[in-house]
């Protein structure tokens, strides 16, 4: 456990000093200071290590990292007091909750898929309905994991801290230890047992710690240690997500930030494990850069990609 924590700390420090993967100075339409980040407060003291964010009306939800109670804490961004908490049935466990996502029908998805040692066979996403209180379980495994854990360090690529929901599908951004690539896996958003299919990958030395998609589904934000990476979001004919980079924002005072949430198309909320709350917003001095439309990578969706209406279930 100590070795794993030291490794995570080393990767965080390494990620901070790595330059942005797509520097804004190479984009003629992207001013270097298009966005700014400011600390705006602290989380309630009941939240020990914030590792995910979701919202409903004027309330925000977060949760503790691995080992914490299986609880969602509710707070407001302009108040430090805890507004309430959601307690779950005994069968809901927090082995290693890492991120939250939400759909348009009142569901919050709680990702219990932290897997530092790459040896878990009980990966889950809990599907909680805000209005009814119902909790369902999405159990899954990775299609390309054959060893638990893989013997070679370069094959340890099944730890995930970032997730988002878009058009009936969940997208998981897996960290590849010591690698230069991020793999993106897809799952249906319905309860059941599934095999997570890789849908695309992209070059990235950063360790992705959180993800979110904007309310209008036009942008994706990936959070790393000391950086926020912004992408234009596109969807193919099968409604599969595709991403085109357009901006990288560095902020070295972020600490170990592991949660990000779009408030709207121009503002994002970020929290770190020390309870600090940051607001990243577009500076009014600049206009949003005009959307450019480069040719998207030619990637075919896997034939066995699970669909929400007829998902491919995991065989026992």
Whether 293 maps to a domain, the answer reads no
Residue 79: CB partners within 8 Å, gap ≥ 6?
A: none
Helices (H), 158-309: none
Answer whether residue 304 is part of any domain: no
3-state class (DSSP) for residue 34: coil
Q: Is-contact 230 221, C-beta < 8 A?
A: yes
pLDDT at 10: 43
- Answer yes or no: is 42 within a domain: yes
H-type helices in the chain, by residue range? Answer: 2-17
Say what the pLDDT of residue 205 is: 81
Identify the domain containing residue 241 by its residue range. 2-282
Digit-coded pLDDT (tens) for 84-94: 999 999 999 99
d(CA 73, CA 46): 8
* Per-residue CA distances from 244 to 111, 202, 230, 310 (Å): 25, 10, 9, 29
Number of domains present in the structure of the chain: 1
What is the pLDDT at residue 273?
86
Q: Supply φ then ψ for residue 68, to 5 degrees.
A: -75, 175
The predicted structure's pLDDT at residue 294: 38
Predicted pLDDT at 33: 73
Identify the band that residue 81 occupies on the pLDDT scale cut at 50, 70 and 90.
Answer: confident
Task: Look at residue 287 and tell me if it is in a domain.
Answer: no
**Does residue 41 lie within any of the structural domains?**
yes
* Interval 248-276 mean pLDDT: 90
pLDDT of residue 104: 95
Q: Chain-wide mean pLDDT for the chain? A: 83
pLDDT bin (cut points 50, 70, 90) of residue 22 is: low
Taking residues 57-63, report their average pLDDT. 92
pLDDT in tens, 136-158: 999 999 999 999 999 888 888 99
Residue 305 belongs to a domain: no
Cα–Cα distance measured from residue 80 to residue 260, given in angstroms and rounded to the nearest whole number: 18
Q: Average pLDDT of 271-284?
A: 89
How many degrees, rounded to 5, is the angle at CA 109 between CA 254 and CA 42? 30
Q: Which tens digits make up the pLDDT trace of 158-209?
A: 999 999 999 999 999 998 776 678 999 999 999 999 999 999 998 888 889 9
Cα-based angle 54, 93, 310 (whole degrees, multiple of 5): 70
Examine residue 300 and state whether it is found in any structural domain, yes or no.
no
pLDDT over 90, % of the chain: 58
pLDDT at 25: 38
Q: How many residues does the chain have?
A: 316
Retrieve residue 98's tokens: 């890492």
Specify the higher pLDDT residue, 143 or 79: 143
Residue 278 within a domain: yes
Sign, CA dihedral 189-194-200-202, equals positive
Which stretches does DSSP call E strand in 169-275? 169-175, 181-188, 192-203, 210-213, 219-224, 227-235, 241-250, 257-262, 267-272
Tokens of 37: 């980040």
CATH number (domain holding residue 86): 2.120.10
Cα–Cα nearest to 179, from 160, 145, 210, 203? 203
Average the pLDDT over 101-121 and give the result.
96
**Backbone angles phi and psi of 10, in degrees to 5:** -60, -45
């Amino acid at each position: 456990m100590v070795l794993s924590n030291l490794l995570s700390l080393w990767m965080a420090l390494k990620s901070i000093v790595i330059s942005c993967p797509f520097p804004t100075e190479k984009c003629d339409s992207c001013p270097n200071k298009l966005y700014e980040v400011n600390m705006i407060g602290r989380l309630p003291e009941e939240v020990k290590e914030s590792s995910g964010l979701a919202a409903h009306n004027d309330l925000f939800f977060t949760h503790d990292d691995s080992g914490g109670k299986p609880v969602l804490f509710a707070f407001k961004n302009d108040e430090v007091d805890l507004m309430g908490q959601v307690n779950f049935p005994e069968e809901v466990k927090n082995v290693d909750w890492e991120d939250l996502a939400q759909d348009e029908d009142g569901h919050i998805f709680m990702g219990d898929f932290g897997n530092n040692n790459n040896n878990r066979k009980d990966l889950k996403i809990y599907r909680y309905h805000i209005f009814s209180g119902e909790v369902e379980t999405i159990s899954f495994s990775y299609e390309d994991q054959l060893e638990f854990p893989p013997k070679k360090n370069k094959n340890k690529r099944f730890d995930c801290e970032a997730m988002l929901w878009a058009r009936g599908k969940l997208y998981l951004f897996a960290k590849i230890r010591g690698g230069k690539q991020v793999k993106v896996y897809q799952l249906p958003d319905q309860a059941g047992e599934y095999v997570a299919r890789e849908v695309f990958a992209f070059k990235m030395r950063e360790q992705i710690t959180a993800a979110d998609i904007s309310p209008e589904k036009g942008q994706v934000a990936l959070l790393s240690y000391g950086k926020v990476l912004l992408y234009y979001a596109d969807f193919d004919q099968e409604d599969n997500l595709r991403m085109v980079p357009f901006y990288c924002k560095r902020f070295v005072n972020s600490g170990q930030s592991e949660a990000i949430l779009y408030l709207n198309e121009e503002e994002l909320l970020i929290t770190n494990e020390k309870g600090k709350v940051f607001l990243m917003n577009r500076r009014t001095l600049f206009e949003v850069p005009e959307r450019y439309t480069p040719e998207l990578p030619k990637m075919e969706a896997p034939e066995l990609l699970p669909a929400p209406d007829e998902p491919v279930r995991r065989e026992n």
